[in-house]
Amino acid sequence: MAANLLSSPIVQSLLRAHPNSFQDSFGDLLDIHFRNLLLPTFRHPLLDDVRRFQLDRTPVDFENLLGLPSEQGMSPKKRHEVARMATYIVNSVREQGLDTSRLHIVDVGAGQGYLTRALKYHLQDAHILALDADQDQTTGAQRWETRLIPSLVPRIAHKTVLISADTLSSTISEWVDEGKFEIPVPVLLVALHACGSLTLDVLRTFTINLKTPRPTWYPAGVVTVGCCYNLMNPGGG
C-alpha cells in the first residue's frame, strides 16, 4: 500500500528533515545520489516504490465543475483553483462511498474559507473544521460564511491554532470529542496552498495516525496542494 510507503523509515526520515539543515545532514549522500540519478542504469528501492504508487497523470475531465456557493471576493485564479479542488474532493468522497454523515473533513490553512464553504455546500451532511493560524483569517472566513450561506446548518467549525503535526492531531481529537458519534469516525485532511511546513505537517499527521490509530478517529485520506517556503517552521517540527 502507498500508506505503508509513507510510513516507511526512509520516508519518515525525509519528512522529519528540515531544508535549513538538510544539506548538513544529507549533503554528501545527496551529492552522490544526484550524480547517480544522471545515470540511466541507476536504481533505488525508494524510487521504484514511488514510481509504482504514482498517480495517473492523465488530466482529469473537469468539464462538469461543481458550482460554488459564491464567487464573491475571489480572483479568477482563486476561483479556478477552488472549483477544481472541490470537484476533485467531492467526486472522490462519492466514488469511495464514504458516509458523509460520519465523515469529518479538516481544511488545514483554510484562510478566508473559500474551499471550506465549497465543500460544505456540496457535502452538507459532512462535519467540517476550518483551521488557520491567523485569527483575522478565521474571523474573515466566519463573516463570509454568515453573509453568503446564512441558512447553512450545521455550520462549519472554526479554530485558530498554530499548526504542527502534534497540534493538528490533538485539535482533531478535541473536535471529534465535541460530537456524539459512533466511533471511530473517518477524517479527511485537505489543504490548498499549504504554505511553509503545512504540507509536511499534514502528511506527518496522516502517517502518524495511520500507524497508531486513535480511539475516536482514523485518517481516511489526504488531499494537499503544496505552495511555498513562506512561514516555514524554522525547527521543522
Three-state SS string over the chain comes to: CHHHHHCCHHHHHHHHCCHHHHHHHHHHHHHHHHHHHCCCCCCCHHHHHHHHHCCCCCCCCCCCCCCCCCCCCCCHHHHHHHHHHHHHHHHHHHHCCCCCCCCEEEEECCCCCHHHHHHHHHCCCCEEEEEECCHHHHHHHHHHHHHHCCCCCCCCEEEECCCCHHHHHHHHHHHHHHCCCCCCEEEEEEEEEECCCHHHHHHHHHHHHHHCCCCCEEEEEEEEEECCCCCCCCCCC
Q: Which residues are within 8 A (CB) of 55 and not within 5 positions of it... i.e. 6 or more apart?
A: none
* CB-count exposure of residue 234 (10 Å: 0-12, 13-18, 19+): exposed
CA distance 178 to 154: 14
Which pLDDT value is given to residue 215? 92
Which pLDDT value is given to residue 87? 94
pLDDT in tens, the chain (237 residues): 666 777 777 777 766 665 556 555 555 555 555 555 555 565 667 777 877 777 776 766 666 788 998 898 899 999 999 999 999 999 999 999 999 999 999 999 999 999 999 999 999 999 999 999 999 999 999 999 988 888 776 789 999 999 888 899 999 999 999 887 888 999 999 999 888 788 889 999 999 999 888 999 999 999 999 887 776 666 654
Which pLDDT value is given to residue 31? 54
CA distance 232 to 18: 9
76-226: CATH architecture: 3-Layer(aba) Sandwich (3.40)
Q: Which residues are within 8 A (CB) of 24 and not within 5 positions of it... i.e. 6 or more apart?
A: none
| Cell numbers describing residue 139 | 474571523
- Where are the chain's structural domains? 2-53, 76-226
Q: Which residues are within 8 A (CB) of 157 and not within 5 positions of it... i.e. 6 or more apart?
A: 127, 128, 129, 130, 175
